[in-house]
Structure 1
Amino acid sequence: MAPIDDILPPYITLSDGNKMPQVGLGLWKMDNATCADVIYRAIKDGYRLFDGACDYGNEPEAGEGVARAIKDGLCKREDLFIISKLWNSFHDPEQVEPIVRKQLKDWGVDYFDLYYIHFPVSLEYVSPETRYPPGWFYDGETEVRHGKSSLESTWKAMEAIQEKGLAKSIGVSNYTGALLLDMFTYAKTKPAVLQVEHHPYLVQQNLLDLAEQHGIKVVGYSSFGPQSFRDCDMKLAEEVTLLFDHPVITKLAIKYRKTTAQVLLRWATQRGISVIPKSNTQDRLLENLDVTSFDLTEDEIKEISGLDKGLRFNSPLNYGIPVYNFA
């Protein structure tokens, strides 16, 4: 493994002037019992971006890891780029600031570096005192109740929290091109970042091009495709070849003496996409951080992009949740 200073990823400048590390650690499905220790270890190893969310249910533990790292002198708060997201049941404009303040308290910080609308789906409000995080179901089991807040009203509330300094940058996640085009008609501040599912089986090049036209940086999640979803008992993920095992990826891993994960992450980062892979082990944390120190050829990038199948794994319908946001 190269010295840590040689593998640290670059920073990307957002449209609002804020700088964001191109590689970070995603906290989706990170076990509560180990979350604080993993974050502490990641900070020690050089990670500075952490991508969390209310819905992940581990923000207090993530905050514990951050607080311990700061206390031990591994970093200062301003060295970190902490991200969270607005869950669907808090889309009512009057609920946005209160839930942001609760999430900040859970993290133990005064501001988020970036705060997203998690999904462009309004669900009926569920009080944090009733159930937290509330999830997709109003009753916690089977009933979906859609809310009545427009995406425009929610975005204006997002702009307000940025003006108050609760979030330095604001963005959107899981938006389609049509929703972005509509947003541009009412937004005073365009989203600085768009986060979407992005891997060789779901390239979404037209959406990436639209974002680039409007100066919006893109963060890709689920960079390893079906790998992240097999433990969700998702049939679609079971039916396709794992990208880690795909011959196009494995031959490049051999050529560059890198892991298949590093090849997949380099395919994204070399094309200007930021990534937030999750891992619990130190070796893989370091490997995932070292994904900008080598270059694929243009033909190799095209070959990987040619694996596109339009396969979206992170859709509510794939989990049996009757929400048709990607219909």
Structure 2
Amino acid sequence: MNRPRGASLSFMLALLFIDGVHVVNGSFFSRILQPTKKEGEEGGKTEAPSKATSSMGSEAQVGSIISFSDGLPFATLANNNKIPLVGYGVGNLQHEMIPGMVMAAIQDDKRTRLIDTAHASNNEDLVAEGINRGVAKLNREGKVEVHVVTKVWYTHLGYGRTKLSVEESLKSLQTALDNDKIDLKLHFQLHWPRCFDSIPWMNCQREERELSDHVKDAGPDPTKDPDNAWKESWKYLEDLYLSDKYPIASIGVSNFHLHDIEIMENFARIHPHILQVNVWSLLYDALLVEYCHKHRIHIQVYNAIHGTISQPERAPKAFHHIQKVASEISSELDQDLTAAQVILAWLMQHGVSVIPRTTNSVRLTENSAVALSSIPAFSDHQVETIAHAVEAYLSGDDLEEDIHVAVTFHVVSKDVVLYWMGREGSEVRIGHLKAGETFTDTTYPNHTFRTYDAANKDYWIDHEISAKFGDHKHIHVEL
């Protein structure tokens, strides 16, 4: 069922300048920040467009203190350490690709100097190799600051097992730690608070059985005490952070629910500096978002692209709206902007870290720190448009209003055959148009149609649609 866009929802991005530092403030993303009005109050009761009741929180605000170094944005954590807002996720990349992609990511044309991985991915040594190669290629006089986020898997929860996991991660990263040209900043997180049998790809008992003896010997089975195993893990991360033995810039959690984070108030010496979550949680768990803002827990988002615009058919009208924003900014920058860049920049401009994953070198450049930081601040209307479109992707409930370019072909003197041109040069026949006829279709900016002389296909003309979303283009066809 299509749903209307919530025109009453406010989306604002306020950048306050305090001593050269940006503070991202103001209302956030979507209706998650709009307080539910009580019955009888002016405006009545506001319902989430997606009908997701969990999205209706109080007027939370999200944002970290954002500072800029060499033109690139960093978030300032609660401990006053900094972390880049743009990273590169390598968790599930093919191992043979990782060193080369990491090396490329940290070069000056991209400057994506945060790499996100996990102990369970078994690739931390390859990340270190890529960092070493990348810094060597930079050939700098001084040290190059590079950040690595890695995580402790749920099979390694409990003090002893977490200690083992961290020690193995440190060993894998040792070559980068020992490199006198690298200032390596480490961020350790608990990947999950526990194993969940309700999640289809998790098999708690089997995974425990298949662990090697040296892991089992390090500590008890965390599935036997799921409510406390992660607490012991957190105690170890606190000890690690307080020891000053390694350059631990932060400790945090990933995929934690608000209930678990709130429990930490009862025992933790250090509150998490970072929470890494799926983009879904960011938009639909208003109370979690509000809690993070209140306690200065910085938010990192994964799945921002795969969960949304990587499947345009899921919400085609929403995709068109994102394309429209991309087209508007592209005209301003005089360079092409992708829908993915729009989503990532939208998150980043709200003080949220992004860690897109790719195996494509072109995408690595497009979604790099340099590229995303060059995108100007979105207007309030654009922020609103993006927010509604992302919500439509996540809910699978497409926008009601579509947006496109209308094209009318006026055939002047000869019959023609009209074709839709694919991105790879393929042709899809639309139809035979007689002289004097008109035909109207819809498309997107810069798309190409082709008309052939119906009597002689050696004669044809390409028609590139140089129009903006919402325009109506008229083309007179004369062959």
Greater strand content: 2
SS at match of 2:93: coil
Query: In the alignment, what sits opposite 2:223?
Result: 146
Shift of 1:211: 0.3
Shift of 1:28: 2.3
Give the gaps of 5 or more residues in structure 1.
124-133, 231-236, 314-327
Which stretch shifts more, 53-62 or 20-29?
A: 53-62
TM-score (norm 1): 0.77
Amino acid of the residue matched to residue 189 of structure 2? Y
* Aligned partners of 1:172 and 1:191 also within 8 Å: yes
1:21-60 map, 5 Å: 21-44=84-107, 45-60=110-125
Change (3 A) 1:118 1:305: same
Query: In the alignment, what sits opposite 1:11?
Result: 74
Change (3 A) 1:114 1:160: same
Distance in 2, Cα, partners of 1:312 & 1:105: 42
Distance in 2, Cα, partners of 1:136 & 1:299: 50
Query: In the alignment, what sits opposite 1:193?
Result: 274
Query: In the alignment, what sits opposite 1:323?
Result: none
State the identity %.
24
* Aligned partners of 1:7 and 1:292 also within 8 Å: no
Could you report, residue by residue, the CA deviation over 1:75-97 in whole angstroms, capped at 9, with x for unpaired residues?
A: 67660011100111111101222
Distance in 1, Cα, partners of 2:210 & 2:257: 27
Change (3 A) 1:201 1:78: closer
Query: In the alignment, what sits opposite 1:20?
Result: 83
* Aligned partners of 2:323 and 2:339 also within 8 Å: yes
SS at match of 2:131: helix
Query: In the alignment, what sits opposite 1:69?
Result: 134
Shift of 1:179: 1.6
1:93-112 map, 5 Å: 93-108=159-174, 109-110=176-177
Change (3 A) 1:97 1:280: same
Distance in 2, Cα, partners of 1:205 & 1:36: 38
Query: In the alignment, what sits opposite 2:411?
Result: none
Query: In the alignment, what sits opposite 2:262?
Result: 181
Distance in 2, Cα, partners of 1:279 & 1:68: 19
Shift of 1:252: 0.8
Shift of 1:310: 9.4
Query: In the alignment, what sits opposite 2:340?
Result: 261
* Aligned partners of 1:226 and 1:238 also within 8 Å: no
* Aligned partners of 2:307 and 2:393 also within 8 Å: no
- How many residues matched? 289
Could you report, residue by residue, the CA deviation over 1:233-272 in whole angstroms, capped at 9, with x for unpaired residues?
A: xxxx7983379x7122111111111110110001101111
Could you report, residue by residue, the CA deviation over 1:179-230 in whole angstroms, capped at 9, with x for unpaired residues?
A: 22111222110111111011699453432221011111100111114369x8
Could you report, residue by residue, the CA deviation over 1:299-324 in whole angstroms, capped at 9, with x for unpaired residues?
A: 322232234269499xxxxxxxxxxx
Query: In the alignment, what sits opposite 2:315?
Result: 241
Query: In the alignment, what sits opposite 1:251?
Result: 324
Distance in 1, Cα, partners of 2:207 & 2:314: 29
Query: In the alignment, what sits opposite 2:385?
Result: 303
* Aligned partners of 2:305 and 2:343 also within 8 Å: yes
1:205-224 map, 5 Å: 205-224=286-305
SS at match of 2:373: coil
Identify the match of residue 238 of structure 2 among 152, 159, 165: 159
SS at match of 1:278: coil
Change (3 A) 1:88 1:67: same
SS at match of 1:119: coil
SS at match of 1:50: strand
SS at match of 2:132: helix
* Aligned partners of 2:314 and 2:393 also within 8 Å: no
Amino acid of the residue matched to residue 288 of structure 1? N
Amino acid of the residue matched to residue 207 of structure 2? F
Distance in 1, Cα, partners of 2:395 & 2:264: 23
Change (3 A) 1:138 1:48: same
* Aligned partners of 2:308 and 2:394 also within 8 Å: no
SS at match of 2:307: helix
Q: Which has the higher Rg, Structure 1 or Structure 2?
A: 2
SS at match of 2:208: coil
Change (3 A) 1:17 1:102: same
Shift of 1:107: 2.1
1:264-279 map, 5 Å: 264-279=343-358
* Aligned partners of 1:53 and 1:85 also within 8 Å: yes
Distance in 2, Cα, partners of 1:242 & 1:104: 45
* Aligned partners of 1:226 and 1:240 also within 8 Å: no
Change (3 A) 1:105 1:200: closer
Q: What RMSD in Å do the two structures reach over aligned CA positions?
A: 3.4
Query: In the alignment, what sits opposite 2:456?
Result: none
Change (3 A) 1:205 1:215: same
Amino acid of the residue matched to residue 148 of structure 1? D
Shift of 1:74: 4.4
Change (3 A) 1:188 1:201: closer
Identify the match of residue 80 of structure 1 among 146, 152, 167: 146
Amino acid of the residue matched to residue 179 of structure 1? D
TM-score (norm 2): 0.54
